[in-house]
Structure 1
Amino acid sequence: MAEKIFSNKNNLQILFEDNHIIIVNKRAGDIVQGDKTGDKPLSEVVKSYIKDKYNKPGNVYLGVVHRLDRPTTGLVIFAKTSKVLPRLNALFVSKDIAKTYWAIVKNEPPKIADSLIHWLKKNQKNNKSSAFIKEVKDSKKAILHYKLVQKLDNYFLLEVNLETGRHHQIRSQLSSIGCPIKGDLKYGFDRSNPDGSIHLHARHITFTHPVKNETISITAPLPDDAIWNACNT
């Protein structure tokens, strides 16, 4: 069973925890793993939480299984043991983890539901991926499936399921069909959100626990702002 905790001291919303895995609802602005900014990553915050909760001496092990872009929110899985990390990695490689994202976009998509296939090419200098309808040099095939969930007053809520996991895939592919994500200046939205976030949320995840062989199905609560609050959840 999921153990739901909110730790004010660590500012963490923990949606699931057992001896092997911990799943956190990431806030906008948090980085999952350390980078050149030198900002304290979410992985270190989770380590501190584990160390305090269980009074662990010495260093705490925590394996980073996957990442979310800094301005996005939602589910992040960490491995609490070195034994389970490669098993979780294998689930991602074999696509045996079902991930659902919610995105609030500026324009109504061309279709109520569709599958998008592009070839994405990453530009290292500006940390941006460009979407092409045909394969180009150094590009990687990207596939996602979306459906329109709700029409808001000025925006549209889309549900997105990834078939591949490419750099900035959802942001780039939705922008390519004229649906930039709210707040995402890099991919064509006309203004930023005040807190620097974008309205992209890793909403739901389902997978088979690699040790217990139980189905884990977790939904991440939405951020508390006026636009997300308008969504029928």
Structure 2
Amino acid sequence: MAEYLEEEDHSEENDELYEHHRIVVDKGQALLRVDKFLMDRLPNVTRNKLQEAIRSESIQINGKPAKVSYKVKPQDVITIVLPEAPRETDILPEDIPLVIPYEDDDLLLVNKQPGMVVHPAYNNWTGTLVNALVYHLQNLPTTRNGAGRPGLVHRIDKDTSGLLVIAKTEYSMAFLAKQFFDHSIERTYYAMVWGVPANDTGTIVGHIGRSVKDRKVMTVYPAGDYGKHAVTHYKVLRRFKYVSLVQCNLETGRTHQIRAHMKYMGHPLFSDATYGGDRIIYGAPNGTYKSFVENAFKLMPRQALHAKSLGFIHPVTKEFMQHDSELPDDFKALLDKWALYEDQ
């Protein structure tokens, strides 16, 4: 028997959709090729997926990239990063328009619009990004004849807009998933937050875990006794009277990381109902200012968060790719509204 240490991270915001396994080979194990050895120990994994994971260096043995021909030996330590196996088997393709700023034979980028759920789940079985992708990519093998989750290696919340990278082959899925696991993907977000941070730049470090009072809410635990290590770098791009436009760069990818970290700083995202940003936090809550903010909430009836850019190494060319996106219309309108208010 092999000993297992398996870690999984199934979050909603910035979800790294991978499985992480660590297997210590038993002392009595006979020599066996690594893909055959793992076939019997990992659920829902095909030989092809394992071989592609080996090619992308997502499987390591004793700290070194494995080779397809390698035969496992007693006491070998095998670590594996794989795209998470699909959990749904009946995802209907839907002809939903997508904004695709880049596409090639191996991957594509989607600029997700606010309000679109990424993956089908309870109360959201249709109209999701995955339903649209299954339609767009229905002739590709990664869609498993229209079922499963085509190429999704990360995701963002329903009410967060911006860029997502989608893999179109098993090899690309494995290669991109490892970059997310290694935190080597460059991700830049724009956020409108309440208040004006004291410093123009800074780094927020604090473990993030689910609140003991409400599991839908993430809480920062600065002492690190609970939750997962999380690091967010921020830069103030523009200061208004009571709010600020902030650039956030993720070093890790935890559930609601930016939203939880900015609230922890005392600057929750504008219009973020989950984290208290849907009320007036800075400025007197009365008179014409109150009416102004209420109208601003109507312009941006969601958290003011946009996945602005993505940078990663292409799985085939091995070149670094950097893609940027424009802010959506509601975010632009919100900025314009605060700029006019400041000029009054």
* Greater helix fraction, Structure 1 or Structure 2: 2
**Superposed counterparts of 1:32-111, under 5 Å:** 32-40=118-126, 41-51=128-138, 58-59=145-146, 62-111=150-199
What is the TM-score with the length of structure 2 in the denominator? Answer: 0.59
- Please give the alpha-carbon distance, in whole angstroms, between the structure 2 residues aligned to 1:187 and 1:62: 31
Number of paired residues?
Answer: 220
Aligned equivalent of 1:132: 221
* Greater strand fraction, Structure 1 or Structure 2: 1
Higher relative contact order (CA 8 A, sep 6+): 1
Aligned equivalent of 2:306: 201
Identity %: 30
- Please give the alpha-carbon distance, in whole angstroms, between the structure 2 residues aligned to 1:120 and 1:110: 23
Q: Do the aligned residues in 2 keep the contact of 1:97 with 1:207 (CA within 8 Å)?
A: yes
Aligned equivalent of 2:211: 123
Consecutive unaligned residues in structure 1, runs of 5 or more:
1-8
- Please give the alpha-carbon distance, in whole angstroms, between the structure 1 residues aligned to 2:132 and 2:247: 29
What is the TM-score with the length of structure 1 in the denominator? Answer: 0.85
Aligned equivalent of 2:316: 211
Consecutive unaligned residues in structure 2, runs of 5 or more:
1-94, 280-293, 340-344
Q: Do the aligned residues in 2 keep the contact of 1:152 with 1:230 (CA within 8 Å)?
A: no
Please report how far the alpha carbon of residue 81 of structure 1 lies from its aligned counterpart in structure 2 after TM superposition: 1.3
Structure 1 residues 45, 229: CA separation in 2 closer, same or farther (over 3 Å shift)?
A: farther
Q: Please, which moves more after superposition, 152-161 or 102-111?
A: 152-161
Q: Do the aligned residues in 2 keep the contact of 1:150 with 1:231 (CA within 8 Å)?
A: no
Q: Do the aligned residues in 1 keep the contact of 2:106 with 2:315 (CA within 8 Å)?
A: no
- Please give the alpha-carbon distance, in whole angstroms, between the structure 2 residues aligned to 1:57 and 1:211: 22
Aligned equivalent of 1:178: 266
Please report how far the alpha carbon of residue 148 of structure 1 lies from its aligned counterpart in structure 2 after TM superposition: 0.4
Structure 1 residues 112, 183: CA separation in 2 closer, same or farther (over 3 Å shift)?
A: same
Root mean square deviation of aligned Cα: 2.5
Q: Do the aligned residues in 2 keep the contact of 1:206 with 1:218 (CA within 8 Å)?
A: yes
Which has the greater radius of gyration?
2
- Please give the alpha-carbon distance, in whole angstroms, between the structure 2 residues aligned to 1:74 and 1:177: 24
Aligned equivalent of 1:227: 334
Structure 1 residues 108, 213: CA separation in 2 closer, same or farther (over 3 Å shift)?
A: same
- Please give the alpha-carbon distance, in whole angstroms, between the structure 1 residues aligned to 2:156 and 2:144: 30
Q: Deviations over 1:171-204 (max 9, x none)?
A: 0000111111111011121349446421111001
Secondary structure of the 1:59 match is coil
Q: Do the aligned residues in 2 keep the contact of 1:119 with 1:133 (CA within 8 Å)?
A: yes
